[in-house]
Chains A and B, each alone.
Chain A
Amino acid sequence: MTLHFTPVWFIAVPLLLAFLAPLWVRWRLLMPVLFSAQVALFVLALSWLPTVRIAPILETIVIAPPLGIHLHLDAIALLLVALFSFAGAIVSAFIWLDNGAAHLRERPAFILMLLLIAGSNGMVLTGDIFNLYVFIEIVGVSAYALAAIRRDKTALEAGLKYVIVGSVAAIFILFAIVLLYLQTGQLNIAALAQAFGNMPAQMQLLIGLLMLIGLSIKAELFPFNFWVPDIYRGSDPEITALYSGVLVKAFLFVLFHLTFILLADPTVARNWLMALGAITMIVAELVALRQNDLRRMLAYSSLGQVGLITLALAFASEATTAGALFHMVNHTLIKVLLFLLAALMLRQYASLKLTDVHGLSRTMPLAAGLFVLGALAVLGLPPFSGFISKLWILKGFADVQTFWPVALILTAALIEAGYYFRWIRVFYAPTDALPMAKIEGEKTLNYAPLLVIAGLLIVLGVAPFLLEDWLQQAAQALLGREALLNAVLGVQP
C-alpha cells in the first residue's frame, strides 16, 4: 500500500485544499477542485465500507486514548461521512454548472464550504470531546460566514442572527464540556462515558441539560429552533441545502452519540428526547401550513423531519434507529434536491411567494416535476425511498407495540401533505399568462445533479436492500455502547 488511507483524510483533505485556495484561483480550478474533492472523499468512504464492516477503524493521533486524540471510523461514521461528501459533491456540482450566484464560485465560499464539510466530518469522526467542540466551532464559524456571504441586507441579517444564536449554543456546549472535564479530568468520550455514571446525580443532570440545550439549538429541536426559518430564508438556497442536509445531521448524530454513550441506560433520556422530537415534528408541520414563502416552508418541513428523526432515534430500538438513519440519508437527499430547485426557481422568479409562482410548471416543467418527486419522497409515499425509511421506523415502533408515535407520525405526514400539495397545486395551477421567457443560460445541464438525486431516491425506494446491511450495522454501532467502549479503551494497557 503506497498511500496510507486513514480517517484523517476526511478532515485533512478538505482543510488542505481550502488552504491551497490561492493556487486554485490562479489555475482557475476552484470549482473542479471543490467538486472532485468531495467526489474523491465519497469514493474513499465507499472503498472503506468492506473494512469497516468487519471492525471499526481507530486512528490514533500521537498518543493512544484515553490520553490522546483519536478518530473513530465505524459504520455510522462512515455512513454520515459518505452522505456529507455526497451532498457536498451534489451541491458543488450544482454551483459549478450553474451560472447564477457568482459569489458562490469565489474563493471565500470555496474555503468556507470545504471548512464546513471538514468540520462536519470531524464532528462525526472524533472520539474526543474537546476536539468535538473545536469542530463544532469550525462548522459554526464557516456556517455563519456562509449565511452572510451574499452581502445584502437579508443575508447579513441572517448571518448576524446565526452568529448570536450559534455562539450561545456553543457556550452551553462548552460549559458542559468544562464541567465534564472538572468532574472527571478526562476528555476522551469513551473514558468520560465510564466515569459519567459515578458523578453525582445533580451534576449529571446539569451537564445533561446544558449539553441537551446547546445541541438542541444546533440540531434545530423545538423549542430552540426559532432561528431556523429566518436563517434559511436569508441565506442562499445552495447554502441552505448544506445546512439542512449536512449540518443538522452532524449535530443530530453528536446529540445521540453522546446520549447513547454517556448514559449507561439510554432509557433515562428516551422520554425527554422522544417528547422533544414529537413536539418539534408536530409544531413545525403545523406552522409550515401557513407559510407563503417556499424557502420558509422548506425550512419548517426540514424541522419537521428532524423531529421525526429525533423521535425515532430516541426510541433506541435497533429497527427505529436503522430506519431513522435511512431517513436521515433520504432527508439529506430530498432537502438538497428541494433547496437546489428553489435556487433554480429563484433565478427565474424574483420571489418564491405562493402568489408569485402560479403556473410555474409551464415555465419550468422539469423543476416542477422534480419538486413533485421530492415532495412525494419527503412525505414517504412509495415507490420513493422516503417511504421505505418511514416504513422502517413505523415498523420498529409496531414491533414493540408502541402506537402513539405511529399515530403522531402519520398525523404529521398528513399535515405535511396539506402544505406540500398546496404548493404542487400552485405550480400546476392553470394560468392565462403565457409561460415566461427562459432566463439567459438556463440549460438542462443544470439539472444533472438533481436528476442524480432523483434517480437515487427511486433506486433506494425500489431496492432498499442495497443499503440494508450498512444501515443495520450503523444502528448497532450507534447503540452499541459496550462495543465502542471496548474498542476504544480495550487497547490501553
Chain B
Amino acid sequence: MSLCLEARKLACERDDRWLFRDLELVIRGGEVLRVEGPNGSGKTTLLKILSGQLTDYRGELFWQEEPLHKARRDFLANLLYLGHAPGVKAALTPLENLAWYQALAGAGSAEADRMSALEAVGLAGFEDLPAGQLSAGQQRRVALARLELTPRPLWILDEPFTAIDREGVADLEARLAAHVQAGGSVVLTTHQALHVPVPMRRIRLGEGHGHVAS
C-alpha cells in the first residue's frame, strides 16, 4: 500500500490576507514536493497544516482516503516532521536526545541504532557532548539523525538545510533521493537549489493562491 495525503480546496487566512486558496494537492509515495515562495508567503503554515498541527484552515485533508482528523493516530505513526526549531535539548547529549525520539516513535531503545544514526549524519565522536556545546549545524544534524533512526514513509521537512555545510547538503540530498526511490515521500521547503535525481513537483505560494507545477 502506497501512502496518499490529499488536500482538497485548502485555504488559509492570516491577518485578513489569504496565504493560499483552493489548493488541491495529492502527495503520493515516490516523489518530492517542494513548497516555494518568498518569506512570509505561508510555507511553514502549509507544512504545519499538512502535518496536522494547525486546525485553523478551510478545506479538507485526507490520509489514505480517510479524513485526517479520523485517521490521526494512523497518520502520525507514518509521519516524520522536522520543524524550524530542531527540537534538540541543549542540556542533553545527542544520544540522550535521540533516545527520547526513539522511544516516542516506538523504535525500540537500542543504543547501537542511535550510534549508527549519529554516524550517518557525521556526528560520530560527538555523541556524549551536551548538544548546547555543538554548533548550530551540528544541532541540526542531531535532528536529521531522526531520519535514519525512525523510519517513516512521509517526511515533512521545514528548511532542513538550514546551517548545514556543503557536504551535509549533498548527504541529505542523497538521503532524500534514497527515501523517495524506496517509495517514501518528502514535502519540504528550502531556499537552496535542490539536486535530487527523483521526480519533483513544486508548489509556488504567494499572491494569495498556490500553483502546483511539475
Do A and B belong to a common assembly? no
Residues of A within 8 A of B (CB): none
